Amino acid sequence: MVTTIKTAQRPPVGEEVLLAEAMQCQTDRPLETAPLTEEPAFAFWQQDIPDEYWALDAQELVERIHAAKARLAPRLVILGHHYQREDIIQFADYRGDSLKLARWAAEQRDKEYIVFCGVHFMAEAADILSGPNQVVMLPNMAAGCSMADMAAADDVYACWDELQEAGITDIVPVTYINSAASLKAHCGRHDGIICTSSNARTVLEWGLHQARRVLFFPDQHLGRNTAVKLGIPLEETAVWDYTLPAGSLGGNTVEQLERARVILWKGHCSVHARFSVEQIERAREEYPRIKVIVHPECRLEVVQAADGDGSTEFIARSIAEAPAGSRWAVGTEINLVSRLARENPDKLVFCLDPVVCPCSTMYRIHPAYLCWVLERLVAGRIVNRVAVDEETARWAKVALERMLAVV
Ligand code: 13P
Ligand code: SF4
């Protein structure tokens, strides 16, 4: 019999924790496995992992994970997001960007256990889209997303109510998949939709066919970049500052909101905020004929200065399909960029930012957590299950399925 063990609730990713973790970023840091206790930011991570896992070294972890995986083989799948570290991605049966992994969860019903090596919102989406006989687990419950946490459900509900009260009613909510399940449900209930970085353009177009304007959260940059690609002038966008007191219309006048076709929640990704136009200029000076490719969570001026932008899958595919000898400066998370450099030895691939700074929450999926979750499964016990409550899942699924139907 399989039993589910109650585990710690997911702690929100506070700015102060991120700042403390960012202090660990270095120019010369190797991205190799160290025992969990030697990971610089371990003190912030999920602490209810048993002591026996804390000191396991890389070799022991690899052997134990392989052994547990082999025993669970026909019933288990390990999904890995592109930003996962190498010592995790080596165990992934299937890797991809948010859209690809969500599609996998919606279409594959034969695996009973889905161990999601990514962040919390991705595991929630997999739980919502997977079948009732499937169990989704996140190896470390502290693996959240700081951008997703910038849109607290109550703040978004309050914004929605304020807009309605101000007469801004011809509007649909669009949430980036980097958001809590409750917000996906909000979109489901209000005729809205979800997007990923792969399909934001098509989804935003869809939204603007449904209503005069869209409330886009939580990433202002993806929203703005996409709006500009659709030819919407910046004067027809507005930024909703969720840090302002209730009743202040997010820092806007009614006239500004009435003019806006896209109202952008003032969230951002701390990883992609590091990329700058100066870095692009430096790369072009040093390497003639270089191609610059960035993720659309980067700021507008960075996306506009680059040669191309797209999801992690798009970036990986563009480089894989490029001719030998081509040169690529990449504006996205370092674990993916380092992997692309290794997998494309006939090309020059490097990160625009010289400082090695991984997405600190993705990085919290340390192999010790994966080993713990798999070994408990072998023993018939489920730890770190991500299970969205039925009512939330029902409405979130409406919005997710709308997205999968549109793209
Ligand atoms: P992708 O869907 O492009 O993988 O993006 C997910 C993400 O969190 C990027 O920061
Ligand atoms: Fe969230 Fe940014 Fe990490 Fe992506 S890279 S998971 S948006 S914090």
186-241 per-position pLDDT tens digit: 999 999 999 999 999 999 999 999 999 999 999 999 999 999 999 999 999 999 99
Residues 283 and 313 in one domain: yes
Mean pLDDT of 315-342: 97
The CA distances from residue 73 to 59, 67, 95, in Å, are 21, 10, 17
**Antiparallel, parallel or unpaired: β 213-217 and 291-294:** unpaired
Residues 155 and 219 in one domain: yes
Residues 85 and 189 in one domain: no
Q: What is the 8-class DSSP label of residue 297? A: T
Residue 158 is encoded by which pair of tokens? 């309050």
Residues 75 and 169 in one domain: no
What lies within 8 Å, CB to CB, of 28 at 6+ separation is 356
Residue 96 is encoded by which pair of tokens? 């991809």
Q: Is residue 399 part of a domain?
A: no
Domain that holds residue 81: 3-145+360-387
Answer yes or no: is the C-beta of 403 below 6 A from any ligand 2 atom: no
Give the pLDDT of residue 284: 98
Residue 385 is encoded by which pair of tokens? 């299950």
Distance 254 CA to ligand 2 centre (A): 32
Residues 9 and 137 in one domain: yes
Q: Is residue 397 part of a domain?
A: no
Distance 33 CA to ligand 1 centre (A): 23
Count of domains forming the chain: 3
Closest CA to 233 of 211, 260, 257: 260
What does the buried/exposed string (b/e) look like for 378-390 if buried means 16 or more CB atoms within 10 Å of the residue's CB?
A: eeeebbbbbebee
Residue 393 is encoded by which pair of tokens? 């899942």
Residues 127 and 105 in one domain: yes
**Please, which pLDDT band fits residue 105 given cuts at 50, 70 and 90?**
very high
Give the pLDDT of residue 103: 94
Q: Is residue 282 part of a domain?
A: yes
Percent of all residues in the chain with a pLDDT value above 70, rounded to a whole number: 93
Mean pLDDT of 386-393: 98
Q: Which atom of ligand 1 is nearest to the CA of 272?
A: 10
Where does residue 312 fall: left (phi above 0), alpha (psi -120 to 50 degrees), or beta otherwise? Answer: alpha
Closest CA to 376 of 143, 71, 126, 144: 71
Q: Is residue 216 part of a domain?
A: yes
Give the pLDDT of residue 1: 63
Please state, in angstroms and rounded to a whole number, the distance separating the CA atoms of residues 341 and 44. 30
- Site to probe by mutation for ligand 2, drawn from 17, 81, 98, 147 as the one with most ligand atoms within 8 Å of Cβ, is 147
Give the pLDDT of residue 25: 66
Domain boundary among 269, 295, 328: 269
Least confident of 5-9, 179-183, 236-240: 5-9
Q: Which atom of ligand 2 is nearest to the CA of 119?
A: 6
Closest CA to 223 of 183, 194, 264: 264
Give the pLDDT of residue 7: 64
Closest CA to 55 of 367, 351, 399, 398: 367
pLDDT tens-digit map of 260-319: 999 999 999 999 999 999 999 999 999 999 999 999 999 999 999 999 999 999 999 999
- For the chain, the average pLDDT equals 94
Host H or E run for residue 71: helix 58-72
Residues 101 and 174 in one domain: no
Q: Is residue 392 part of a domain?
A: no
Closest CA to 151 of 204, 214, 216: 216
Residues 9 and 141 in one domain: yes
Residue 141 is encoded by which pair of tokens? 């419950």
Residues 119 and 65 in one domain: yes
Mean pLDDT of 11-27: 61
Mean pLDDT of 395-406: 97
Q: Could you tell me if 190 and 399 are in contact, meaning their C-beta atoms sit under 8 angstroms apart?
A: no
End-to-end CA distance of the chain: 40
Please state, in angstroms and rounded to a whole number, the distance separating the CA atoms of residues 122 and 177. 8
**Antiparallel, parallel or unpaired: β 308-309 and 291-294:** parallel
pLDDT tens-digit map of 69-83: 999 999 999 999 999
Domain boundary among 269, 296, 319: 269
Residue 382, phi then psi, degrees to nearest 5: -100, 120
Q: Is residue 27 part of a domain?
A: yes
The CATH number assigned to the domain holding 257 equals: 3.40.50.10800
Please tell me the number of Cα atoms within 13 Å of 241 on its side-chain side: 7
Q: Is residue 178 part of a domain?
A: yes
Answer yes or no: is the C-beta of 298 below 6 A from any ligand 2 atom: no
Q: Is 180 exposed, middle or buried (0-12, 13-18, 19+ CB in 10 A)?
A: buried
**Please, which pLDDT band fits residue 175 given cuts at 50, 70 and 90?**
very high
Please state, in angstroms and rounded to a whole number, the distance separating the CA atoms of residues 213 and 347. 43
Residues 28 and 132 in one domain: yes
Q: Is residue 80 part of a domain?
A: yes
**Please, which pLDDT band fits residue 39 given cuts at 50, 70 and 90?**
confident
Residues 237 and 336 in one domain: no
Helix, strand, coil: what percent of the chain each, to 5? Answer: 45, 15, 40
Residues 127 and 158 in one domain: no
- Alpha-carbon Rg for the chain in angstroms: 21
Domain boundary among 323, 351, 379: 351
Distance 276 CA to ligand 2 centre (A): 17
